[in-house]
Every structure is written in C-alpha cells, then in structure tokens.
C-alpha cells in the first residue's frame, strides 16, 4: 500500500498569511494526487487534482505543485473561509487502492 | 446540479449487518465510477470501496470479504452491504462520485450517513 504523510498536522496562521502544506508519498505516484478541504460536519470538497489542476470554482489563491513523492498545497493569502482541515489523496493508476493523508488542520492564530 | 444522498445508517450490534444506499441525481449515473469513503469521529478519511461503470468492485483489505458494493443504474442508486460489523467500522459513510478512472479522485460527495456499531 502507498502511505501518504502530511505535515504539519496542525498549522496556526492569520488572515493574509501564505500557507503551505506538504504531502509525501511512500513511493512515486507521478502526479496522481488530489487535495480536499473539509469543514466541521461537512463533506470534503475537491480543490486540486492531478497535483496542480485547480477544480472549477475554486479560488485561485489555492495552488498545488509537486510530482513523484513530494507535493505541496499553497494558499497564497489565507481568508477567513479557509480555516478548515485539508487532506491529500493519491490515486496511482498502478493500483485500484487509493489512500489519504492524515490531514492538516489550519487554525486561526 | 449533482446530488448524492446517503441513507441507511444507524445503530447496529457487533457482528450485525447494515445496507447503505446512495441516491444520485443531476448526472448520468451509469457513466461514472462510484465510491464509499468513511470517516470515524475526529479521524481522517478512509476509502472503503469502489465500483466501476461495468460493475467491477474494489475493496481495501480492511473490509474485503465483509462489505459488498453494488449499483443499480436504472434507479441511479449505489449500495454498500456491510456484514460482520465491528466497533472499528463506526464512522460517517460518504458516497462519492469518482473521476479519472479507478482509483481516481472524488469530484462530488454526499452529506454522509452515520453508522454506529455498539452493543
């Protein structure tokens, strides 16, 4: 199984900050990575797919980068609506099984 | 508008069974892979099963042999039959639409249904 490790697990930041979340895969997954945002009591929402493609309707302050085993999600200027938990998810086509990272909670500083 | 609405959750004893349903609307259901993903309270997301457009099922080792995913395209419905339930299966179960093939990623999610396994 491919393991996904996110860091940090918790991040404290202020409105307007630039925020970066890292996701590392235990083996190469090319660019088969998605990012989701989840707010308490709600379903996850797709932000990024194929490592760097922005889902329709997602604000441009969100961006993704990376390939192989290391990936990042960046929020260029944190907004009040962005305080949430973020998950990465690998979908390497060599295996039907997919896995999520453990999540990064972005809190108000 | 794409909508996914789960139902069938509830309280069940260890060793018991439960069948979840997901009603889909707003898209051509038969053309998409579908998934179940669960989340225990305060924990992360865990993929539970997938079914391809041809009805081919996929499971992780944690539920293989206990859970069965199925779909009924004529009713735009997805199902998850869960047997031999354990306390560790307690979670909110989400139905999600897959994109990009199997395994793929999830572009739409339902609101979830809570399954509690307890005596």
Q: What is the pLDDT of residues B65-110, one digit of tens each?
A: 999 999 999 999 999 999 999 999 999 999 999 998 889 999 999 9
In 3D, which of A76, A104, A75, A77 has the Cα closest to residue A88?
A104
Extract the tokens encoding A91. 């979908």
Task: Judge whether residue A7 has pLDDT over 80.
Answer: yes
Mean pLDDT of chain B: 97
Q: How far is CA A83 from CA A100, B74, B99, in A?
A: 20, 40, 26
Distance of CA B20 to the CA centre of its chain: 7
Say which residue the tokens 């949430």 belong to: A84
**Residues A80-109: pLDDT tens digits?**
999 999 999 999 877 888 999 999 999 988
Interface-testing mutation among B42, B44, B91, B100, with chain A (most A C-beta atoms within 10 A): B44
Chain B touched by A107 (CB under 8 Å): no
pLDDT at A1: 86
In 3D, which of A87, A8, A99, A95 has the Cα closest to residue A48?
A87
Interface-testing mutation among A87, A96, A99, A101, with chain B (most B C-beta atoms within 10 A): A96
- Cβ-defined contact of B107 to A101 (cutoff 8 Å): no
Label residue A33 exposed, middle or buried (CB < 10 Å: 0-12, 13-18, 19+).
buried
Contact A27, A45 (CB under 8 A): no
Chain A touched by B102 (CB under 8 Å): yes
Chain A touched by B16 (CB under 8 Å): no
Contact B85, B91 (CB under 8 A): no
pLDDT at B101: 87
Chain A stretch 7-46, residues whose beta carbon is closer than 8 A to a beta carbon of chain B:
34, 36, 38, 42-46
pLDDT at A26: 95
């Amino acid at each position: 199984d491919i393991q996904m490790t996110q860091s940090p697990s918790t991040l404290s930041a202020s409105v307007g900050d630039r925020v970066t979340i890292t996701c590392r895969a235990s083996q190469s997954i090319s660019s088969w990575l998605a990012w989701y945002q989840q707010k308490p009591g709600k379903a996850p929402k797709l932000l990024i797919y194929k490592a760097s493609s922005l889902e329709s309707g997602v604000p441009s302050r969100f961006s993704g980068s990376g390939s192989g085993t290391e990936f990042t999600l960046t929020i260029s200027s944190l907004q009040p609506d962005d305080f949430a938990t973020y998950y990465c998810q690998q979908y390497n086509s060599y295996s039907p099984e997919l896995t999520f990272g453990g999540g990064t909670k972005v809190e108000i500083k | 508008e794409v909508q996914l609405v789960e139902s069938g959750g509830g309280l069940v004893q260890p060793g018991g069974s439960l069948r979840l349903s997901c009603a889909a609307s707003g898209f051509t259901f038969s053309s998409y892979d579908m998934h179940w993903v669960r989340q225990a309270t305060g924990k992360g997301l865990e993929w539970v099963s997938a079914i391809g457009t041809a009805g081919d099922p996929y499971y992780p080792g944690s539920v293989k042999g206990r859970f069965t995913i199925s779909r009924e395209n004529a009713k735009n419905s997805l199902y998850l039959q869960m047997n031999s339930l354990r306390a560790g299966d307690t979670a909110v179960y989400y139905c999600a639409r897959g994109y990009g093939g199997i395994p793929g990623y999830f572009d739409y999610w339902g609101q979830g249904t809570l399954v509690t396994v307890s005596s």
